[in-house]
Structures are given as C-alpha cells and as structure tokens.
Amino acid sequence: MPNPVVPSSNIPPARVRAWLRAALDSWVRDGVVTPETAQVITERHGLDQPGRGAGPLLAAVLLGIGGLLIGGGVIAMVAANWDAIPAAVKIAGLFVLLLGLHWASFVMFGSGRDRLGHGLLLAACLVFGGGIGLMAQVFHITSSTGLAWLLWSAGALASAWAAGSTPSGLLALGIGAVWFGFYGVASRNYPEWVLIAAPYAMLAAFGGLARERNSRALAGATAVVFVIALAMACSTLGGRGSAWAAGLVAAGLLVWAGADWLGPVSRDTVRVIGVGAMAVAAYVASFHEIHEQMSARMFANPAAVMLPAATCSAGLILAALSWRTEPPTVARRRVSWLVLSGAATVALAYFLPAVFGLATDILSTLLGNVAVLLFAAAALASGFSEFHRGHFWAGTFLAVALVLTRFFEYDTDLMLKAFGFISCGVVVMYAGIEYERWLKRRTASETAATGVDHGDAV
C-alpha cells in the first residue's frame, strides 16, 4: 500500500499552480514523468485546488483578529472589575488564564489546527501584556512603562519561538518597536550601549524566527524595524545633522547583504527593503540644502561614527561570505556591484562633510545624485536579468524622480524645464514599451523551447 502524500506547507500562488498543471499534462504526454508521479506532485502542491491560496489566508487573518479581540476583551473585563476581585484571586486567575490559553494553543498545534492555535496564542500574548500591568498594581510595584513594554515583547517572542508562530512573532516585533521608539530612544533613560545593541538584538531574534518559520512577512517586517531603529540610534548618538541617514545606509547595506541567510522565500523582499533604505538616504543626500546643515560636529560622539562604520563592515563581510558560499550568476553579480557601488558612494556623501566640514558640500551633493542613479541602474538591471517587472519600474521611477527633483530644485529656464519634462516622458514611455515587448519575446521563446504556455510574464 503506497504511503499517503503529505501536503506541502508552502502552496504556490494560483498562477504558478495553473502553469504547473499545464506543464504536468505535457510532461506526462511526452513521457518525462509517469502519471503516478504527476498525481503525487498534484496532491502535494494542491494543484487540483486552484482556490486553495486565498481561503486559508482569510481564515488565518480572521482567527488572528479574533484572538486579539479575545485577549483585549479579557483584559478590559478584568480591569473593569479589578477593585472587586481579591488579590489572591487576581493572581491565580491571571496565571490560570495565561497557562490555559497557552495550553489550548499548543493542543491546537498538535492536532493540526494551526490557524486556531495561532489565534489562541495571540490572545495569550495580549493577556500576558495586560497581566504585567495588573500584577504591578497588585503589588504596588513602581517601574518604568518602557520596562513593561520590553518584558511584554520578550514574553511574546518566547511564546512565538516555542510554538513556531509567525503571527505572535509579528506581535512581539511590533511591541518591541514601540518600546524602542517611544521609550528607548525618546526617553533617553537607557545607556548608549542599550541603544546600540537593541537594533541588532531585534534583528537576530526576529530574523532567526523568520528564517525558522520561512516567513516572508516576518522577515520583511524585521528588516524594516531594524533599518528604522538603527537610523534612530545613530540620530540620537549624533545629536544633530544627518547622522540618521548614515545609519540608514549602514542598516540597508547589512539587510541587503544578509538577505541570502533568510532563504529563497524572503530573500528578494529583504533585498528590496535594504536597497530601498539606501536609495532613500541617497535621494536625501542629493539635495544641496541638506549639506548646508552638516558640519564636522555632526558626529561629535565617536559612537555615531563607529556604529554605522561597523555596520557597513559587517554588511561587506556578509556579502563576501555569501558570494563565497554560493557564487552568484553573472547577472546577479552585475546587480550586486551596482548596489555596492551605490552604497559606497552615498556613504562618502555623508561621511565627507562629517570629517572635513562644509568644504565638501558640493562634492557630497554630486555623490548623492550619482548614488541614486546607481541604485536605479541596479533595479533596472535586476528587472531585465532576473525577469522582475516591479524592479524595472522601481528603477525607472527612481531615475525619473531624481531628474524631476533637480529641475524643480534649481532655478532654470522654464522652456528648458518643459523640454526636459517632455524628453523624460518620451524616454520613459519608450523604455516601458520596449520592456514589455522584451517580456513578451522572452515568454514566447520559452514557450517555443518547452512547448508549454507559461501565461503572461510576471
């Protein structure tokens, strides 16, 4: 008796499943695979269920929202009757409720009802956060609100790791981001080493969970939080000027270089976030007025120089290790060199005024413009070589935005601006038409080579 087929936990998108169904029919006709193998592939990847992707996602969202509402309702109910409940009952009730929700969620995970388990675990995490504040009232403990948010995030993260729960990991990440933004950096009640270590601690903890769960959503959210947190830390340490932008460049480079570590599912998303962070910093550096606000005192605190410099170094080391472990293709290597060149250029745009003062502001502005064009070229190259339509249009938008910004920023003749706008519009339209034609030619050539219609290019 053949072993039952275990369904894959990673069901492809509907368009991919439709293409694979058509390909399997052709492969069976040509004798490439047997009908039995085709049936196994169909059952494993849900090819006979075209609508399988949206239903579970909607159910997961609804169960997650339900878990959040249940947790919030329990907290509100306990708070409303807080004065009437004896202290012993308060403590026992909180522990019983907390343990009960965790136990119920693990039972659901064990029985295969993972979505309901995630919802119950979200409710447990909310009850844990409410319990921290209620327990402090029971024992009249005076402490900072920031510490409560930090403990709440740590507890939710522990539950997420124990259960392998992406929704609870996202909740813990959001709580940690609130702690860092509103109580870590803003309050300045913590020593400098906490501000420096916290972004990396969140990157390691939540990035590791994202890799363990193979979650694109958690990986992308972690990358965004890390980029913003490091930029805020550099701004706080620098005290003035554009130290935050130096942090943005460093964090973006590290995120881009470490994307391979997260696996193929999350890699492209994290790379886009890293390059996007560096491109934002480069665009800011392209304005002449920005450099007029810089001075050699921008990095009066040595930590504000060492932090982005060390982060950039770590990013370069990660990129070198990644290339050595898995050498990139020629096309990927070309894109990577463009990204690295853009990162080096925008880093110089910010570090030169910090070291030499305003004497380099014109050069720094030029470097900022060059860096934006390099990132745009990297996106365009990725769009062509890796068949990413979104990357192509992102690179086009970045280049056009730079040109239009320079026309508006500098006081040039109106007729010259009009000519420039028309020229840019014609070039962009021509590039878009040619790119779409190239996509169709590539799709047609692949169809002719394989004998299978892949559908529209993506």
Cα–Cα distance measured from residue 50 to residue 11, given in angstroms and rounded to the nearest whole number: 10
pLDDT range class, residue 245, cuts 50, 70, 90: confident
Residue with tokens 């369904």: 7
- Name the more confident of 215 and 287: 215
Contact 281, 372 (CB under 8 A): no
Q: List 409's β-bridge partners, or say none.
A: none
- Name the more confident of 79 and 25: 25
Q: What is residue 441's predicted lDDT score, i.e. its pLDDT?
A: 62
| Element spanning 407, H or E | helix 389-409
Q: Average pLDDT for residues 97-124, to the nearest whole number?
A: 82
151: tokens are 């403990």
Q: What is the percent of the chain where pLDDT is above 90?
A: 14
357-412 confidence digits (pLDDT tens): 555 567 778 888 888 888 888 888 887 776 677 777 787 788 777 777 777 665 55
Contacts of 189-197 with CB under 8 Å at 24 or more apart are: 189/144, 189/146, 192/237, 192/303, 195/233, 195/236, 195/237, 196/233, 196/237, 196/303, 196/307
Q: What is residue 12's predicted lDDT score, i.e. its pLDDT?
A: 59
Q: What is residue 442's predicted lDDT score, i.e. its pLDDT?
A: 61
Q: Average pLDDT for residues 307-333, to the nearest whole number?
A: 85
Q: What is residue 268's predicted lDDT score, i.e. its pLDDT?
A: 86
Q: What is residue 170's predicted lDDT score, i.e. its pLDDT?
A: 93
Cα–Cα distance measured from residue 228 to residue 241, given in angstroms and rounded to the nearest whole number: 17
Range in 41-55, 88-102, 123-137, 313-327 the model is least confident about: 41-55
Instruction: Please tell me the total number of residues recorded for the chain in this structure.
Output: 458
pLDDT range class, residue 458, cuts 50, 70, 90: very low
Q: What is residue 154's predicted lDDT score, i.e. its pLDDT?
A: 92
Q: What is residue 419's predicted lDDT score, i.e. its pLDDT?
A: 58
Cα–Cα distance measured from residue 253 to residue 266, given in angstroms and rounded to the nearest whole number: 16
Q: Average pLDDT for residues 320-348, to the nearest whole number?
A: 85
Contact 24, 47 (CB under 8 A): yes
pLDDT range class, residue 274, cuts 50, 70, 90: very high
Cα–Cα distance measured from residue 185 to residue 237, given in angstroms and rounded to the nearest whole number: 10
Q: What is residue 253's predicted lDDT score, i.e. its pLDDT?
A: 93
The residues spanned by each domain of the chain are 1-52, 54-185, 191-410, 418-453
Asked if the model's pLDDT at residue 431 lies above 80, the reply is: no
| Element spanning 311, H or E | helix 302-325
Q: First CA to last CA across the chain, in angstroms? A: 41
Closest CA to 394 of 216, 284, 224, 273: 273
- Sorted by sequence, the CB contacts under 8 Å of residue 304 that are 6+ apart come out as 234, 237, 238, 239, 243, 246, 298
Our measurement of the distance from residue 86's CA atom to the centroid of its chain's CA atoms, rounded to an integer in Å, reads 46
Q: What is residue 260's predicted lDDT score, i.e. its pLDDT?
A: 82
94: tokens are 């909180």
Closest CA to 165 of 202, 200, 215: 215
Cα–Cα distance measured from residue 267 to residue 260, given in angstroms and rounded to the nearest whole number: 6
Across the chain, mean pLDDT equals 75
